[in-house]
Amino acid sequence: MKSKPKHVIKVHIWGGISKRGTTESVILKGIMKAEHYCTILQDGLLPFISSHFPDGDYRFQQDNDPKHTNWLVKSYLEDRSINWWKTPAESPDLNPIENVWGVIKILSPYSQ
């Protein structure tokens, strides 16, 4: 029988995949808010778009998690002319990275 920790530490991992490569992973401990998500996009998404899609031929896909659809995030994306669309949360058939997260959860010894 595996023992479980008394207090579970919540960790968010942001990452992106594309036909031209993967983004760096960004790890955030604790609760993620829209402000944190904008910082993640600034540090993780924008450099990736600049280096891998200088031609602007991309579409950023994210689910409709409240953090992703917050007015602050929408404004951030629009102000930077980021081409994006939203899909339902945790829908592996519509959002391919959900399959990646599913495998990571299965392989993680810390998964509940």
Closest of 97, 73, 95, 74 to residue 15, by C-alpha: 97
| Amino acid in the structure at residue 56 | G
Torsion sign over Cα 45, 48, 50, 53: negative
Q: What domains sit in the chain, N to C, each tagged with a CATH number?
A: 15-106 (3.30.420.10)
Interval 8-63: pLDDT, tens: 677 788 888 899 999 998 888 888 899 999 999 999 999 999 999 999 999 998 88
Contact 17, 45 (CB under 8 A): no
Closest of 9, 68, 10 to residue 40, by C-alpha: 68
Mean of pLDDT over the chain: 84
